[in-house]
Amino acid sequence: MFHKGFIMMTGIWLALGFIPLSGADIGRLQIPAANVPPGEHPRLFFSKDDLKALRERASSTEYAPYMTQLRKLSDSIGKLLEKNDAAEIEKLKKESLGGWSKFAPNARNLALLAILTDSPADYERAVKYFKIWLDANPLDAELKPAFSWGNGDYAIAYDLLFNAMTPEERARARHILACMVGAPTAEAIGRDWYTGGPNLSMRIGGGANWIELFTANSGLTAMAIEGEEGANPELLAKLAWMFRRFLSEGISADGALYEGMSYATGFGTHFTPQMILALKFRGIDTLSASNLAKVAEWIAQEALPWGYEAFDHNKSGGIFSAAPFATFLAKEYGGLSVWMINNFALRKEGGELDLLMCLVNGIPEKNGTGREGRPLSKWFSSRGLVFCRSGWGMRDTQFMFITNPVGMGHTHADQGSFCIASNGEYLAADSGARAYASEFHNLVLVDGVGQPQREGSVDSFIKSVDANAYSTLIDTDLRLSYARVAQGVHTGPWNWEVFNPLEEAERKALFVRGASGPVIVISDKFKKDSRDRLYEWGLHTPSDNVTSANGRRFRFAGKFGGKYLHTLDPGKISVLEKKNVPDGVYHGWLLVRSEPSPPVWANNNVIVNGVPCPYTTTFFGRGNYREGWKWLPLKPKGKTEINVTGGNLSVKLESVS
């Protein structure tokens, strides 16, 4: 995927002690029950008395796009259920027990639609679908409490469908949920790194998204059955205590999360706002001590000059997600958080805001504070990232310098690496989500060896960042990131093991906002020892960029910079016509680039001399603008040959979605 450009250049032991979490410590946070009578539902986010107002809100014009999405989902699943195909049902049963399948969110959304419409048909469909999960679990006699992360989606579905289920179905669901939050789960608190136990960073935020997923999913599961058989209020108090710590320790004081971008705004925080709202419904404030209000400041710096996506570092594809988390932040804090949700979702098309968040917490305003006026240099010191910009325009330059604190999850062997985007192109690139080793990053290798790859176990630090309106100077000492790696089981102890010690490993980066354009200088001072060594300086760029080298100089160039046809919005058509083309058999390609936008499914028709090309050959979507221009082969009727007779050639591009 990447071009490599290389330029030739002439047992420690650590013991950490832990204070185990005591019942007195974590029991200080008492969780009052929801102000709902035992056995009455809904009880997670709102009560039976709130339903009239919520249904009126859901039936308003403002909520129509979201309700339409739910209706489409319901109709699609309804057709599947009507078939009653035994093989398909068995497939759904297996999916329902999967870790992160679509089944559980679909069950929640069907339940949400049913309680909002109060339609018997919608209730029947939602319960029938939910029952697939019930039937997939072991029989009650075989079902025993076991350690679990809980499941927020099934907890919400149970809460919303409670009155539509039979007593037997309710008891069955309650038994399954209770087994998730029984003694084995309670006993794991403080034991494992993802349950608040010891970790290398010595804070709850180590592996932050796993802490959040465990506490929020288990917490919602526990709250869904509170006051009922199998409830575990002691466990809930512990989970709420850990969750509140995650909101302060798992998010740095300046708003950065300690994970890759895809985790921070999507998978890793999907249940954060649900847990916040469920605790709020019980009178527990988790926001005042959190750093949530600053998250948008980090996202604004992370977003590439054209917005909508970020550099793809640390197991992250760099793709933003609207998700419940961003929807909640936009409503709760406004301002730059509104810019954030607009940057994540095509709101003008009614898409991708989370309906449950909008319903319970309200729809965010559409106009907020933009990125303009933000600092052009920003050092997230706790997180280890530095961002420098020449401005906030789409074609301005962005420079990101990467280090990671010990204990952070999803890290690569990339301490001291950097990325550059400029003039609408992604130039100096990270390796993305799957290539972890130093050789895939913009680093110095010594005799082909870089830094060790073990998540959260490599140390380095930025000595200083000096910034003013004209320039930014970053000074780092990277010796520790080459020299050692922490080894050991998650519960400790950890030992520093020698890896690739260097006498010197200093990298300085200078970003200058020059009058004629930005200048970036990287100065490296590396020395392994007094012997002759091979020092390689790596610089990677996406494969779509044109790369050329001449001795110690290299050049990146975009594939295309001339006129282009721009087709956007349904039914819009662009046509390229050429006269007096010699008759013959041709092969053709389109040079295409996606629209700067959030990633959205898209469909395009391409017709060559009246002959359509199959959909599978013309799909290039929207979003992922940083991938640049790419060649799309023209295949009328699925064939690569284009027959031209009569001297005319016509290529029509139609935007369908």
Pairing of strands 649-655, 642-644: unpaired
Question: Distance between alpha carbon 478 and the CA centroid of its chain, in Å?
Answer: 28
What does residue 252 show for φ and ψ, rounded to 5 degrees? -65, 165
Residue 7 pLDDT: 32
Give the burial class of 13: count Cβ atoms within 10 A of its Cβ; 0-12 exposed, 13-18 middle, 19 or more buried: exposed
3-state secondary structure of 11: coil
Tell how strand 461-467 and strand 471-477 pair up: antiparallel
Could you identify the residue written with the tokens 């009614």?
350
Q: How many CB atoms lie within 10 A of CB 492?
A: 18
Give pLDDT < 70 ranges for the chain. 1-30, 202-208, 260-261, 348-351, 561, 567-568
**E strand map for 141-234:** none
Q: Following CA atoms 407, 509, 481, 421 in sequence, which dihedral angle do they give, to the nearest 10 degrees?
A: 60
Residues in contact with 419: Cβ distance below 8 Å, sequence separation at least 6, in sequence order:
311, 313, 399, 400, 402, 426, 428, 429, 430, 442
Burial class from Cβ neighbours inside 10 Å (0-12, 13-18, 19+) for residue 580 reads exposed
Distance CA 126, CA 159 (A): 12
Helical pair 208-224 and 233-249, crossing angle rounded to 10 deg: 150
pLDDT in tens, 492-536: 788 999 999 999 999 999 999 988 889 999 999 999 999 999 999
pLDDT, position 207: 52
For 403-470, strand residue ranges (E) read 418-422, 425-428, 444-446, 461-467
Q: What single DSSP character describes residue 291?
A: -
Q: Rounded to 10 degrees, what is the CA torsion of 321, 131, 159, 267?
A: -20
In whole angstroms, what is the distance from residue 388 CA to residue 512 CA?
9
Spatial contact of 565 and 593, defined as CB atoms under 8 Å apart: no
| Rounded Cα distance, 130 and 119, in Å | 16
Measure Cα distances from 288 to 29, 245, 250, 332, 543 in Å.
15, 12, 15, 12, 46
> Distance between CA atoms of 385 and 305, rounded to whole angstroms?
17
Among the listed residues 106, 1, 167, the one whose alpha carbon sits nearest the alpha carbon of residue 545: 1
C-alpha gyration radius of the chain: 27
How far is residue 457's CA from residue 409's CA, in Å, rounded to a whole number? 9
What residues form DSSP beta bridges with 420? 399, 428
Q: How many CB atoms lie within 10 A of CB 507?
A: 24
Under DSSP, is residue 306 helix (H, G, I), strand (E, B) or coil? coil
Prediction pTM value: 0.90
DSSP structure class, residue 484: E
Q: What angle do CA 603, 609, 612 make, to 5 degrees?
A: 30
- Supply angle C-alpha 365, 370, 371, rounded to 5: 145
Question: Cα 387 to the chain's mean position, in Å?
Answer: 20
| Inter-helix orientation angle 272-280/208-224, to 10° | 40
State how beta strands 553-557 and 546-550 pair.
antiparallel
> How many separate helices (H) and strands (E) can be counted in the chain?
19, 24
Distances (CA, A) of 116 to 35, 343, 345: 21, 29, 24
